[in-house]
């Protein structure tokens, strides 16, 4: 692992036998508008990915659905052959339609194809972590994941996947997955203002399973709250920094994957997540999502 990673805010976490920095990077924003097509600035996107590694970040989150294929191919172009310390987490279970929608693709044949396509587009022989993405663009939906998850377990047995996780999942689906095979992470929507998973996060922390919030900064609609602005102003920091620092403080099993298409924002976020929050700040921030 890069010596620089030791100084990244949050330190490290282990996903099964893989060590990652708690400060990771979400690659979705590297694709074109609406997460469709190539980026406007191809070289700029490669520069962001190279900066991720130069900063010592060892966890990149991606999916073949981004672009589709665009972010995986950018990751390969920028970073292949990968450092042993770098771990790429991908997800399967959704595809893209011509309107930019995210229809589910969770039949066994869809999942097998998706795993092989991720391997090819990333230039890997084994995927470090694969999340089964459930629900739809509106959020988690109830229902058994058994057939889909068992398909991934089978691919894991074949050596194509090292570790499994679930995404956009209900607490019941997390429990169902764990009754079938071990998981190393859950990736759901969560941030200062959206805290449906509070209980789940605490349960997973007790079990040593990572919780990886997507939209940590609010995603397509940046987090806005007068309490957040007040705390940020008091600390002479940005709202983004406070939101990331709060997540790192919220629970030791939370891993950050903020997205950005800008090297400057990436550096700002790494620096900002190290912000120290007082008990008074925390109490004020805690009220936002409750
Ligand atoms: N499992 C799932 O279903 C799912 C769904 C959505 C996302 N994800 C994953 O989660 C990751 C994170 O989500 P996300 O990227 O959509 O949302 P996010 O991290 O909450 O926010 C990203 C947005 O914040 C902006 N931003 C970042 N840093 C900033 C800064 N310092 N100042 C101002 N603006 C800043 C980015 O714009 P700039 O590009 O201008 O910096 C971008 O528009 C994704 O990359 C993806 O890997 C997973």
| Structure confidence at residue 1 (pLDDT) | 41
DSSP secondary structure code for residue 26 in this structure: E
223 Cα nearest atom in ligand 1: 20
Pair of tokens at residue 29: 């924003």
Kindly state the helix (H) or strand (E) to which residue 92 belongs, with its residue range.
strand 87-92
C-beta of residue 92 within 8 angstroms of C-beta of residue 133: yes
| Structure confidence at residue 5 (pLDDT) | 43
Residue closest by Cα to atom 27 of ligand 1: 260
| Structure confidence at residue 154 (pLDDT) | 98
Q: Is the CB of 93 under 6 A from ligand 1?
A: no
* Closest to 270 measured CA to CA, from 228, 227, 236, 241: 241
Residue whose CB lies within 8 A of the most ligand 1 atoms, among 47, 72, 215, 254, for a mutation test: 215
Contact residues for 224 (Cβ-Cβ < 8 A; gap 6+): 218, 239
262 Cα nearest atom in ligand 1: 41
Pair of tokens at residue 95: 């595809």
Residue closest by Cα to atom 33 of ligand 1: 265
Q: Is the CB of 241 under 6 A from ligand 1?
A: no
User: How many Å apart are CA 269 and CA 47, to the nearest integer?
Assistant: 16
191 Cα nearest atom in ligand 1: 20
User: How many Å apart are CA 174 and CA 165, to the nearest integer?
Assistant: 9
Residue whose CB lies within 8 A of the most ligand 1 atoms, among 24, 29, 68, for a mutation test: 29
For residue range 128-163, what is the model confidence (pLDDT) as tens digits?
999 999 999 999 999 999 999 999 999 999 999 999
pTM of the model: 0.97
| Structure confidence at residue 103 (pLDDT) | 96
Annotated active-site residue in 25, 66, 190, 211: 66
Share of the chain above pLDDT 90, in %: 97
Catalytic residue list contains 66 = yes
C-beta of residue 203 within 8 angstroms of C-beta of residue 52: no
259 Cα nearest atom in ligand 1: 15
Per-residue exposure over 161-170, b if at least 16 CB sit within 10 Å of its own CB, e if not: bbbbbbbbbb
Residue closest by Cα to atom 32 of ligand 1: 265
| Structure confidence at residue 290 (pLDDT) | 76
C-beta of residue 208 within 8 angstroms of C-beta of residue 251: no
User: How many Å apart are CA 69 and CA 30, to the nearest integer?
Assistant: 11
| Structure confidence at residue 7 (pLDDT) | 82
Pair of tokens at residue 47: 């520069």
Could you say which residues of the chain have pLDDT below 50?
A: 1-5
| Structure confidence at residue 3 (pLDDT) | 42
Contact residues for 32 (Cβ-Cβ < 8 A; gap 6+): 38, 39, 40, 67, 70
């Amino acid at each position: 692992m890069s010596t620089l990673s030791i100084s990244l805010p949050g330190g490290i976490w282990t996903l099964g036998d893989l060590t990652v920095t708690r400060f990771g990077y979400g690659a979705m924003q590297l694709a074109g508008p609406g997460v469709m097509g190539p980026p406007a600035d191809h070289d700029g996107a490669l520069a962001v990915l190279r900066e991720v590694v130069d900063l010592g970040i060892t966890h990149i989150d991606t999916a073949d659905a981004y672009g589709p294929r665009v972010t995986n191919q950018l990751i390969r172009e920028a970073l292949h052959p990968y450092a042993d310390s770098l771990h790429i987490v991908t997800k399967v279970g959704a595809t893209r339609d011509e309107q930019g929608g995210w229809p589910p693709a969770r039949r066994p044949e869809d999942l097998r194809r998706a795993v092989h396509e991720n391997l090819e587009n990333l230039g890997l022989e084994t995927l470090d972590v694969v999340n089964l993405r459930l629900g739809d663009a509106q959020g988690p939906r109830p229902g058994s994941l058994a057939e889909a998850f068992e398909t991934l377990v089978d691919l894991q047995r074949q050596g194509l996947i090292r570790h499994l996780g679930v995404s956009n999942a209900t607490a019941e689906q997390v429990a169902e997955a764990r009754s079938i095979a071990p998981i190393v992470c859950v990736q759901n929507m969560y941030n200062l203002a959206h805290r449906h998973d509070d209980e789940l996060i605490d349960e997973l922390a007790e079990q040593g399973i990572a919780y990886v919030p997507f939209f940590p900064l609010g995603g397509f609609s940046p987090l806005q709250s007068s309490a957040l602005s007040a705390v940020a102003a008091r600390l002479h920091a940005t709202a983004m920094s406070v939101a990331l620092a709060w997540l790192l403080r919220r629970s030791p099993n939370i891993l950050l994957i903020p997205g950005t298409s800008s090297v400057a924002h990436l550096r700002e976020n790494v620096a900002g997540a190290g912000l120290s929050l007082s008990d008074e700040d925390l109490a004020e921030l805690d009220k936002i999502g409750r």
